[in-house]
Structure 1
Amino acid sequence: MKTTLIIEIRAAEGGDDAKLLVHEQFAVYQSWRCGSTLTWK
């Protein structure tokens, strides 16, 4: 069974701090994906 998961992360108000948070969240999801059988597109 194939399941699709879409995760959307956007920076909102907060300027550079918001951008940094998005970057850190992306890194967390990317490392989580590396430990599983998910594919990255």
Structure 2
Amino acid sequence: MLGGAVCVECFRDFAQMGRFTLRDEGKTIAVGKIVKILPSISSD
């Protein structure tokens, strides 16, 4: 679970910010590329 906001970009626009790694208890469980960013839903 994330404790706050995370900055990301689409891989095609900014490769360094378009990759992610999921880790659980010190083990890598997934890696991937961000191909689409959905608009956020604000709860204002």
Q: Which band: TM-score by shorter chain?
A: under 0.3
The structure, 1 or 2, with the larger RCO (C-alpha pairs under 8 Å, 6+ apart) is 2
Normalising by structure 2, report the TM-score.
0.25
More helix by share: 1
More strand by share: 2
